[in-house]
Amino acid sequence: MTDLLRGEHNGGTVTDHGREATSASRGRALMTDLVNELATAPSGVAFIATCLDRVIETWNLLEARAVINDPVLGLQLFNAGRRPLELDEMPSTVLARGAGIHTEPTMLDEADDIDAISKLCEVALRLDRLHYESLHDPLTGLYNRRGFDEHLSAAISRSVRYGWSFGLVIIDLDGFKAINDRIGHQGGDAVLRQVGEQLRQGLRSGDIAARVGGDEFALLLHIEGPSSLEAILDRLHGNGGFGAAGEVAWTAGLAMCPDEAASVDDLYRVADQRLYEAKAVGNDHSSAKAH
Helix (H, G, I), strand (E, B) or coil at 203: coil
Residue 283: its pLDDT value, please? 61
What is the sign of the dihedral through the CA atoms of 266, 194, 188 and 244? positive
Is 215 tagged catalytic? yes
Give the chain's domains with CATH numbers.
2-135 (no CATH), 145-290 (3.30.70.270)
Can you give the pLDDT of all 291 residues of the chain as single tens digits? Answer: 344 344 444 444 444 555 555 777 888 999 999 999 999 999 999 999 999 999 999 999 999 999 999 999 999 999 998 888 887 788 899 999 999 999 999 988 899 999 999 999 999 999 999 999 999 999 999 999 999 999 999 999 999 999 999 999 999 999 888 888 888 888 899 999 999 999 999 999 999 999 999 999 999 999 988 888 988 988 888 766 687 656 788 999 999 999 999 999 999 999 999 999 999 986 644 433 333
Neighbours of 277 (CB within 10 A): 12
Query: For residue 179, which amino acid is it?
Result: I
Residue 245: its pLDDT value, please? 57
Q: How many residues does the chain have?
A: 291
For the whole prediction, is pTM greater than 0.85?
A: no
Residue 234: its pLDDT value, please? 85
What angle do helix axes 145-162 and 111-135 make, rounded to 10 degrees? Answer: 70
Q: Which long-range contacts (CB under 8 A, 24 or more apart) does 278-282 make?
A: 278/251, 278/252, 278/253, 279/172, 279/174, 279/251, 282/174, 282/251
Residue 290: its pLDDT value, please? 34
> H/E element holding 63?
strand 63-70
From 215, 234, 259, 284, the catalytic residue: 215
Residue 15: its pLDDT value, please? 46
Cβ atoms of 171 and 214 within 8 Å: the answer is: no
Cβ atoms of 152 and 145 within 8 Å: the answer is: no
Residue 78: its pLDDT value, please? 96
| Parallel, antiparallel or unpaired: strands 8-10 and 13-15 | antiparallel
Q: Spell out the alpha helix ranges (H) of 203-263.
A: 229-237
